Amino acid sequence: MTMLVGKKAPSFKADAVVDGGEFVENFSLDQYIGKKHVVFYFYPLDFTFVCPTEIIAFQRRIADFEARNVQVVGCSIDSKFSHWAWLNTPQNDGGIEGVKYPLVADVNKTIALNYGVLAGHYDYDDEGNMIWVGNQGEAAVAYRGLFLIDKNGIVRHQVVNDLPLGRSIDEALRMIDALQFFEEKGEVCPANWEKGKDGMKDNAEGVASYLSTH
């Protein structure tokens, strides 16, 4: 897995579907630099089972992200047409109708590869043909990666789950709160920190003071 924390988020331009059905060409996260934090997450495939629970969960909490000035963007290796079809399928029929934030189409798998979440790697067989070698036999899809990107385009947090393991929206929001608390207060966030709790100074005196009162 590629470690991107502290580095510039890999830039890309790709097709996307926004507002639940509008095609956009050359969609890029660069449009948010200087304006918004970004939660950029990957999911394996459209029209699957765990994926819609996550995608819809983000939408149901979208007001919480917007209140923090955070843009949510999803991405999978499906085409924009697959995204569009799924977005226009009712939730009762296994679709994700009602999701409004952007879904990026990574058909060439280069975005997932650059973010280090492609579930395997390309290699060559004995005859020199390029082949896909999946980790534990997985198809060439993305793991459930999530990246918190600040307004300067720097990755400040990343987490990657295996395909069967869904993510926590609450934890994504907690990490946003922690980052924004640090940016505003200049204090770091100790274990199990939550919004509204105290931070501490990033030195021995700060640690001692925090531990003596908590």
Active site residues: 51
CA separation (Å) from 3 to 59, 63, 162? Answer: 27, 30, 16
Pairwise CA distance, residues 63 & 19, whole Å: 15
How far separated are the first and last CA of the chain, in Å rounded?
36
Contacts of 67 (CB under 8 A, 6+ apart): none
SS3 content of the chain, % helix, strand, coil (to 5): 30, 25, 45
Tokens of 139: 């198809």
- In sequence order, which residues have a C-beta less than 8 Å from that of residue 109 and are 6 or more positions away? 77, 118, 140, 142
